[in-house]
Amino acid sequence: MIMSETYVLDSGFDPDQFVADIKEAKAAVGDATEADARHLQGLVLTSQVLLYGGHSLLLLGAALPSYSWVLLATGAFMISFARCMKWTIIGHHVSHGGFDKLQKSHPNALPSHYKRGVFAIGVRRFFDWMDWMLPQAWDVEHNK
């Protein structure tokens, strides 16, 4: 296997235009607002409803003798989707510090545990990030 220390870029790539495009996109998006906080809270609520609803369907499907496979499959899908949301949407953005500035500019917009280095620590891990990988390890590895 041959490894290169450089990226292969198209001959038409303009690094100055790329930087300008990134700055323009950042300016267009702007800083996080209270609407972003409400959106995150909606995502958290959705993931919780999916998670607990999925577990409820699994229990119900295990208790019923007929057509339980529909409940079991639906419950498994709901749990899977909730876990994916918690990892890729909620945990990923919070662990990157995506809401840290919002915590400073609007201190009451989100609970204090939605902050990089605080998210899913201690007993909150059970609620925020119940996965095999420690959030601290993810922070060290992914935020290099």
Q: What is the pTM of this model?
A: 0.79
**pLDDT more than 70, % of the chain:** 94
Question: Longest C-alpha distance within the chain, in Å?
Answer: 65
Across the chain, mean pLDDT equals: 87
* Residues 57, 71 contacting (CB under 8 angstroms): yes
pLDDT tens for 11-21 read 787 889 989 99
Residues in the chain, overall count: 144
pLDDT tens for 34-70 read 999 999 999 999 999 999 999 999 999 999 887 788 9
d(C-alpha 37, C-alpha 22), whole Å: 24
Domain ranges, ordered by start, for the chain: 35-142
d(C-alpha 106, C-alpha 37), whole Å: 9
Average confidence (pLDDT) over 28-38: 89
